[in-house]
Chains A and B, each alone.
Chain A
Amino acid sequence: MNCCHQLDDYLDGELTTAEATEFLRAAAACPACSESLRRDARWNKSLRTAWSQVASEHVMGEPRPTRAGVIEEVWQRTDASEHSSPIGRSTRVGPGVWIAAIVAVGAVVLFSSWIVTSWLEPAAPDVAVEPIEPPEETSPWRTDFTTIESPSDVRVDGDHIGITAIDNDEFTFVIVYPVVSTGATDKQSVH
């Protein structure tokens, strides 16, 4: 039967009105579906009757409140305690609160005395600190060379002038200066 696969959807209330009507019409002609519906209705009714008779005996060891919504009462109580003035509210302080308060006060006193002591008696440095020498300033330019002042060691090549030099390791190299338009040479502009 086509209706059998829709039985659970019908019982779960997931069919539209039209689909449910069509299912019931088909189920009426289907022995399996009509038997399931009959038996479901029977145990469902018994189960609901049974559960409706079940009630809790106690509410936190106190007499049951009236049948007013307990949850709503809880919200109202929470809301009232958040927004009302503390004046006029009864406050019961248990021994745990007193112990916590005493411990907290003791901690504050100890911490304050430690702060005052360390402030009045600055601790002597127990480690000798050697002054740190500033790093030597190093020039980006090489200065450990001597130019060879001989006309033959100065060569002009287009926009550059090359001067032959020799360093402390007797390594010979050529310093190239660009020729700028003013005619002056600027060491900083050497590339």
Chain B
Amino acid sequence: MDGDPWDRVYRFALSLSRHTQDAEDLTQECFLRINRQTTPPEQPLAWCFRVVRNLWLDRCRQREVRGEDAGQDLGSLSGNERDPAVVASFNEELTRVWRHMMDLPDRQREVLYLRAIEQMSAAEVAETLQLSHANVKATLSLARKRMRETCDPMPSEESRS
């Protein structure tokens, strides 16, 4: 996805945190860090994604230590309570697909975001997230399967759910 690097980093942060305020904080922290770099990284965006992910994991660990929810418990919210600002402009179809993606497990969500939205290859995703290629492929396969089942269920799947 082309566009402003700030927004691209922000979107990735949002896909991780699922919360606009966290995503803003992570993006700002990432750009402060990139500003302090004396030598620019070879791939600035991949570097930013990695930094944002590490920052988010640190934040989750700190919240766990403090006994807070590591991530936002979106499952307990419904409808526009979850992400009102983000989905305000979406139609019903976009809102439904968006929320199905946000309901994916963390690893599946971040891998799917980088592959489907940022159009990274599986190898690039593996390098960015520092996972094995096989792990990324397996995670992507699971994420796609789940998106197929939830976003556009077959009649038999619909009756099951």
The chain A residues found within 8 Å of chain B, CB to CB, are 8, 11-14, 35-36, 39-40, 42-44, 46-60, 64-65, 67, 69-71, 74-75, 77-78, 82
A121 to B123, CA, bound (A): 71
Name the distance in Å between B111's Cβ and chain A's nearest Cβ: 11
A59 to B25, CA, bound (A): 10
Q: Which residue of A lies closest to B45 (CB)?
A: A71
A52 to B7, CA, bound (A): 9
Decide if B151 touches A46 in the complex (CB within 8 Å).
Answer: yes
Assuming the contacts A8-B141, A11-B144, A43-B148, asked whether A55 and B10 have C-beta atoms less than 8 A apart, the reply is yes
Name the distance in Å between B68's Cβ and chain A's nearest Cβ: 24
Contacts of A44 in B (CB 8 A): 116
Decide if B40 touches A49 in the complex (CB within 8 Å).
Answer: no
Q: Which residues 30-68 of B have a CB within 8 angstroms of A?
A: 31, 34-35, 37-38, 40, 44-45, 48
Q: Quick one: CB contact mask for B75-113 with A, threshold 8 Å, 1 for yes? A: 000000000011001100111011011000000000001
**The 9 A-B residue pairs with the shortest CB-CB distance in the complex, in nearest-first order:** A56-B10, A43-B151, A46-B97, A50-B94, A39-B152, A71-B5, A71-B44, A70-B6, A39-B148
The chain B residues found within 8 Å of chain A, CB to CB, are 1, 3-7, 10-11, 14, 20, 23-24, 27-28, 31, 34-35, 37-38, 40, 44-45, 48, 85-86, 89-90, 93-95, 97-98, 100-101, 113, 115-117, 121-122, 137, 140-141, 144, 147-148, 151-152, 154
Q: Which residue of B lies closest to A42 (CB)?
A: B152
Decide if A52 touches B1 in the complex (CB within 8 Å).
Answer: yes
Cβ-neighbour of B148 out of A40, A47, A52, A70 (below 8 A): A40
Decide if A43 touches B97 in the complex (CB within 8 Å).
Answer: yes
Main secondary structure of the interface of A (DSSP, over half): helix
Name the distance in Å between B85's Cβ and chain A's nearest Cβ: 8
Name the distance in Å between B88's Cβ and chain A's nearest Cβ: 10
A134 to B27, CA, bound (A): 74
Q: Which residue of A lies closest to B89 (CB)?
A: A53
Cβ-neighbour of B7 out of A8, A12, A54, A82 (below 8 A): A54
Name the distance in Å between B14's Cβ and chain A's nearest Cβ: 6
Decide if B140 touches A12 in the complex (CB within 8 Å).
Answer: yes
Decide if A46 touches B5 in the complex (CB within 8 Å).
Answer: no
Cβ-neighbour of A78 out of B11, B37, B89, B144 (below 8 A): B37
Decide if B24 touches A58 in the complex (CB within 8 Å).
Answer: yes
Name the distance in Å between A41's Cβ and chain B's nearest Cβ: 10
Decide if B148 touches A36 in the complex (CB within 8 Å).
Answer: yes
Decide if A8 touches B40 in the complex (CB within 8 Å).
Answer: no
Decide if A78 touches B10 in the complex (CB within 8 Å).
Answer: no
Cβ-neighbour of B116 out of A36, A47, A53, A74 (below 8 A): A47
Decide if B7 touches A47 in the complex (CB within 8 Å).
Answer: no
Cβ-neighbour of B90 out of A40, A53, A56 (below 8 A): A53
Q: Which residue of B lies closest to A61 (CB)?
A: B28
Decide if A51 touches B11 in the complex (CB within 8 Å).
Answer: yes
Name the distance in Å between B157's Cβ and chain A's nearest Cβ: 11
What are 30 A-B contacts with C-beta separation under 8 Å? A12-B121, A35-B154, A39-B152, A40-B148, A42-B151, A43-B147, A43-B152, A46-B93, A46-B97, A46-B151, A47-B116, A47-B117, A50-B95, A50-B98, A51-B1, A51-B11, A51-B117, A53-B90, A54-B14, A54-B86, A56-B7, A56-B24, A56-B27, A57-B85, A58-B24, A59-B6, A65-B6, A67-B4, A69-B4, A74-B35
